[in-house]
Amino acid sequence: MATFRLALIQLQVSSVKSDNVTRACSLVREAATQGAKVVSLPECFNSPYGTDYFPEYAEKIPGESTRRLSEVAKECSIYLIGGSIPEEDAGKLYNTCAVFGPDGTLLVKHRKIHLFDIDVPGKITFQESKTLSPGDSFSTFDTPYCRVSLGICYDIRFAELAQVYSQKGCQLLVYPGAFNLTTGPAHWELLQRARAVDNQVYVATASPARDDKASYVAWGHSTIVNPWGDVLAKAGTEETILYSDIDLQKLAEIRQQIPIFRQKRSDLYAVEMKKP
């Protein structure tokens, strides 16, 4: 199948985990009724985003939230990218995305590789590493449509990760993310278009909806970009479902017209994958 429908759920996240999960599943069902075959939730969809919240909301995988995701993926017969949740494993906490197939099977679990430790004086200081540990593996999964790869939020800033994914045959890069009011207007769309053009892939970012009263205010504006760098769809700041058709014939045409993969000077440089 050369074309399939992707849906991104820009969820309004509250402080009540069960409500977040229930509403997320309801919106997943709605996306499926609109023909979506691959659906993504946003980063930290079951919990407010913040180092104070991660220990309180963390759960194992499988656990309460991911069991519900498995059930709704099977019910709707879709590929469900479970945004991310705070995960507890062996005494450590991770920012983790679990992906489920149309039969409800857990296909892959991506732990955020690059932790969001930044300091922009007078604007924002945040340190995920206060409570979270980094993941150390690449995460891809196959669908009947294409191979999909995963990053979480800050992972999008590291071009080498996307390059490795494109070398592994991925055609769609999905980044559940929660940029903020400082980094969002400056870099959110810019980074997505850069990763899409650099690697001639589709790039999708699923953000939480904006809550101006939250301790961490998400930028919103979930987005889908094609391999030419065109923004195909972009949400505002409110809770919504964003849709776009992913056209793999278009991707093939762009790669043929501008054949950067054949033209890379591997005799001079390469991006090395140190771990499988």
What's the 3-state SS for 29-61? HHHHHCCCCEEECCCCCCCCCCCCCHHHHCECC
Gap between the Cα atoms of 76 and 244, Å rounded? 18
Query: Which one is catalytic: 37, 43, 76, 97?
Result: 43
Classify the phi-psi angles of 106: left when phi > 0, otherwise alpha if psi is within -120 to 50, otherwise beta: beta
Three-class secondary structure of residue 9 per DSSP: strand
pLDDT band with cut points at 50, 70 and 90 for residue 274? confident
Amino acid at 41: L
Q: Kindly give the residue spans of alpha helices, DSSP state H, lying in 77-187.
A: 159-167, 183
Does the annotation mark 25 as catalytic?
no
In this structure, the number of other CB atoms found within 10 A of the CB of residue 122 comes to 6
pTM of the model: 0.97
Query: Which one is catalytic: 97, 153, 170, 239?
Result: 153
Does the annotation mark 153 as catalytic?
yes
Helix (H) or strand (E) holding 261: helix 260-263
Rg for the chain, CA atoms, rounded: 17
pLDDT for the residue 272: 85
* 137-163 residue pLDDT tens: 999 999 999 999 999 999 999 999 999
The superfamily in CATH containing domain 3-262 is Carbon-nitrogen hydrolase (3.60.110.10)
* 66-109 residue pLDDT tens: 999 999 999 999 999 999 999 999 999 999 999 999 999 999 99
Helix (H) or strand (E) holding 157: none
Query: Which one is catalytic: 76, 88, 112, 170?
Result: 112
Is the pLDDT at 244 greater than 90? The verdict is yes
User: Range with the lowest mean pLDDT among 9-18, 83-92, 100-109, 114-123?
Assistant: 114-123
> In this structure, are strands 92-100 and 79-81 parallel, antiparallel, or unpaired?
antiparallel
Is the pLDDT at 270 greater than 70? The verdict is yes
Amino acid at 108: V
DSSP symbol at 156: G
Q: Which of these, 59, 55, 23, lies nearest to 41 by C-alpha position?
A: 23
> If you average pLDDT over residues 34-55, what whole number do you get?
97
> If you average pLDDT over residues 182-207, what whole number do you get?
98
Helix (H) or strand (E) holding 202: strand 202-206
First to last CA, the chain: 29
Is the pLDDT at 115 greater than 90? The verdict is yes
Residue with tokens 């903020």: 180
The C-alpha angle with vertex 173 and arms to 195 and 249, in degrees rounded to 5, equals: 90
pLDDT band with cut points at 50, 70 and 90 for residue 6? very high
Is the pLDDT at 20 greater than 90? The verdict is yes
pLDDT for the residue 89: 98
Is the pLDDT at 276 greater than 70? The verdict is no
Residue with tokens 């519900």: 68
> If you average pLDDT over residues 12-17, what whole number do you get?
98
In this structure, the number of other CB atoms found within 10 A of the CB of residue 239 comes to 18
Chain mean pLDDT for the chain: 97
DSSP symbol at 113: S
